[in-house]
Amino acid sequence: MAVWEPPLLLGIDPGLANTGWAVVDARQQVVASGTIRTKPGPPAPRLVVLVGELRQVLASYQLQEAALEELFLGRNASSAIGVAQARGAVLAALGEAGVTVHEYKPSHVKSVITGYGLASKTQMGRMLGLQLSGSTGDHHAADAVAIAVCHARTRRVAEGVPGAVGRQPR
C-alpha cells in the first residue's frame, strides 16, 4: 500500500526578464528554487524560453498546485505589459501540465509572511530568513518562495476550517 505524501507546491513570480520559481514541501521547506532569465529582445522568443524552462521544472517535480501573485499594476505600464505576457505564458504552461493554479494579492502574501500587508522587500527577506532554513536564492526566487509558503499556509488553514474553499475530505 502506498503512503500518501502531501503535494509539493510551486510558487512563481512571473516576469518577462526574470521569472522566479520555488518548490516548497508541506513543511514549508524549500525543495528547489531558481530564476528563469531571458535576454532582452522581442517578447515572443523570450516567452518561448520561459515556457521551455518552466516545462523542465514541471517535469522535474510531481506538482499538483501552483501559486502566483495577482497582477499588480504599478506606475510603469510597459513593465506591467511584460509581466502580463509572462503570466499568460506561465498560466498556459501550468494548464497544459494539469497543475491547479491559486492566485493571491501581493498584500495577502506580505501579510501571511510578515503579519503586515505593506511590508517592504527588505522586511519580507528578513522574515523568510527567520522562518526558513537554507537559501531562498535571488530576490525573484525569494518572491516565489514567499508565494509558495503563503499558499502552503493558506491551504492548511482552508483544509482545517469546515466549509472553507479547498478543504480536503478526511
What does each C-alpha distance from 59 to 28, 93, 99, 122, 132 come to in angstroms? 21, 11, 12, 32, 25
- Pure H helices in the chain: 43-60, 77-96, 106-114, 121-131, 139-160
Nearest to 18 by CA among 42, 49, 44: 49
Determine which one of 65, 69, 70, 96 is catalytic: 69
Catalytic residue among 103, 138, 143, 159: 138
159 is catalytic: no
Specify whether 65 is catalytic.
no
| Residue 138 annotated to the active site | yes
Catalytic residue numbers read 13, 69, 138
